[in-house]
């Protein structure tokens, strides 16, 4: 027999939506530009580290000719640098695309910016879908509206 007074506490996703304003666009563009600069710095550091390792192996080869193991080590370093470089370039391209998307957003447009979590209590007879659909709408950091069953 079930308890008619039974209830359950659930964790649910909350969609954060923002109203696009000049201030929001400026802040978003600054954050994305900072990420791009950071990625550029990581690319430069990767190139320096890779070149340093390769130069060290080549310097040693002057003293003693490269054997098979040293050649494999050299190829391995180059492959690792190329793989990491590709990953960083992919992240940079994604960030550049996000920057372009932010630049073309229209003012007063409502966009999803992310997800948060909250808890809700459900009881027998509640509409679970209504309880799980919750949105918070924000303009310049100020909550304008909470949509859904709190």
Quickly state the pLDDT bin for 88 (edges 50, 70, 90). very high
Q: Indicate the SS3 state at residue 149.
A: coil
| Inter-residue contact 138 to 144 (CB < 8 Å) | yes
Q: For a pLDDT cut of 70, what percent of the chain falls above it?
A: 95
Name the packing angle between helices 22-63 and 68-104 (round to 10°). Answer: 170
Q: What is the pLDDT of residue 86?
A: 96
Quickly state the pLDDT bin for 1 (edges 50, 70, 90). very low
DSSP letters spanning 61-127: HHHS---HHHHHHHHHHHHHHHHHHHHHHHHHHHHHHHHHHHHHPPTT-EEEEEEEEEEEEEETT--
Q: What is the pLDDT of residue 67?
A: 72
- What's the average model confidence in pLDDT over 106-135? 94
Quickly state the pLDDT bin for 149 (edges 50, 70, 90). confident
Q: For a pLDDT cut of 90, what percent of the chain falls above it?
A: 74
- What's the average model confidence in pLDDT over 73-87? 90
Q: What is the pTM of this model?
A: 0.75
Q: Considering only residues 33 and 57, tell me which one the structure prediction assigns the higher pLDDT.
A: 33
**Whole-angstrom Cα distance, residue 39 to residue 141?**
27
In this structure, what token pair is assigned to residue 91? 């992240």
């Amino acid at each position: 027999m079930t308890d008619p007074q039974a209830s359950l506490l659930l964790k649910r996703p909350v969609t954060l939506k923002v109203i696009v304003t000049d201030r929001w666009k400026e802040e978003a563009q600054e954050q994305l530009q900072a990420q791009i600069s950071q990625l550029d710095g990581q690319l430069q550091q990767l190139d320096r580290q890779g070149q340093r390792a390769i130069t060290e192996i080549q310097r040693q080869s002057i003293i003693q000719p490269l054997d098979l193991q040293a050649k494999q080590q050299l190829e391995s370093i180059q492959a690792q640098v190329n793989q990491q470089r590709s990953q960083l370039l992919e992240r940079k391209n994604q960030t550049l695309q996000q920057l372009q998307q932010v630049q073309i957003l229209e003012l007063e447009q409502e966009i999803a910016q992310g997800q948060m979590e909250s808890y809700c209590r459900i009881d027998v007879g509640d509409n679970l879908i209504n309880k799980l659909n919750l949105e918070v709408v924000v303009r310049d950091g100020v909550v304008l509206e909470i949509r859904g069953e709190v």
